[in-house]
Amino acid sequence: FKSVTFEDSLFKNCVFEDITSLNSYFRNCTFVNTTFYNTDLEQYKFVDSKLINCTFFHIRTGCQISFSDDYSAYWIYFVNFLGTLAVLPGNIVSALLMDRIGRLTMLG
Q: Give yes or no for a contact between 67 and 22, defined as CB atoms under 8 angstroms apart.
A: yes
To which CATH superfamily is domain 3-55 assigned?
E3 ubiquitin-protein ligase SopA (2.160.20.80)
Q: Please say if the pLDDT value at position 69 is more than 60.
A: no
pLDDT at 108: 79
CB count in 10 Å sphere of residue 5: 12
Domain locations along the chain:
3-55, 68-107
Average pLDDT value for the chain: 86
* 46-47 β-sheet, strand order: 5-7, 25-27, 46-47
